[in-house]
Amino acid sequence: MSAIPKELHGLKVEVVRSKRKTSALHIIGDELQIRVPNRVRDGKIVEILETKERWIRNKVVQLQSRPKSKERDFVSGESFSLFGKNLKLKVLEGGRVGTKLDGDYLFTNVRSSEIGEVRKFRIKTYIEKWYIQEAYKRLEDKVIKFSEIIRVSPREIKVKNYKTRWGSCDKKGRLTFNWHLIKAPHSIVDYVVIHELCHMVQSNHSPKFWHEVEKYDPSYKDHKKWLKLNGAELIR
Cβ–Cβ under 8 Å, residues 27 and 63: yes
182, 134 in Cβ contact below 8 A? yes
What digits encode the pLDDT tens for the residues 206-220?
Answer: 999 999 999 999 999
Give the CATH fold of the 137-235 domain.
Answer: Zincin-like (3.30.2010)
Q: What is the mean pLDDT of the chain?
A: 92
Question: Binning pLDDT at 50, 70 and 90, where does residue 84 land?
Answer: very high
In terms of pLDDT, which residue wins out, 67 or 57?
57
**pLDDT value of position 67:** 63
- Strand, coil or helix: 54: helix
φ/ψ of residue 36, rounded to 5? -135, 160
Name the pTM for this structure: 0.76
Instruction: Please tell me whether residue 19 adopts helix, strand or coil conformation.
Output: coil
Instruction: Give the closest residue to 80 by CA, choosing from 106, 98, 58, 60.
Output: 106
| pLDDT per position as a tens digit, 143-175 | 999 999 999 999 999 999 987 789 999 989 999
How many other CB atoms sit within 10 Å of the CB of residue 59? Answer: 16
**Domain edges within the chain:** 7-65, 79-133, 137-235
Region 100-120: mean pLDDT is 95
